[in-house]
Amino acid sequence: KDPRLGSHVTITDTRVTGDLREATVFYTVYGDDEDRASAAAGLESAKGILRSEVGRAAGVKFTPTLTFVADALPENA
């Protein structure tokens, strides 16, 4: 529901450590630098809610911590 995220954020990849303690989420943002900064702030502020949803859906004992990384692949392709 965060307007900073809207429909222009796409999750491109995720990587989870073998012990399921940490997850890195790669994302891209359709727009300019201001949109990218806004989306990064939105993801950071929603990190707790997103982590709760991941834990609920995954059904594992420990919910991984989430780290969001802007994926540079589309810009470099």
Rounded Cα gap, residues 29 and 42, in angstroms? 12
- The DSSP call for residue 64 is P
The upper half-sphere exposure of residue 46, i.e. CA atoms within 13 Å in the direction of its Cβ, equals: 16
Residue span of the structural domain in which 33 resides: 8-70
Backbone angles phi, psi at 8, to 5 degrees: -105, 15
**pLDDT tops 90 at residue 59:** no
Question: With b meaning 16 or more CB within 10 Å and e meaning fewer, what string describes 17-56?
Answer: eeeeeebebbbbbeeeeeebebbbebbeebeeeeeeebee
In this predicted structure, the answer to whether residue 65 has a pLDDT above a threshold of 60 is: yes
Q: Which is more confidently placed, 8 or 63?
A: 63
- CATH number (domain holding residue 18): 3.30.300.20
Q: How many domains does the chain have?
A: 1
pLDDT(75) > 80: no
pLDDT tier at 77 (50, 70, 90 boundaries)?
Answer: low
Q: Each residue of 2-41: pLDDT tens digit?
A: 777 777 888 999 999 998 899 999 999 888 888 889 889 9
User: Does any domain span residue 34?
Assistant: yes
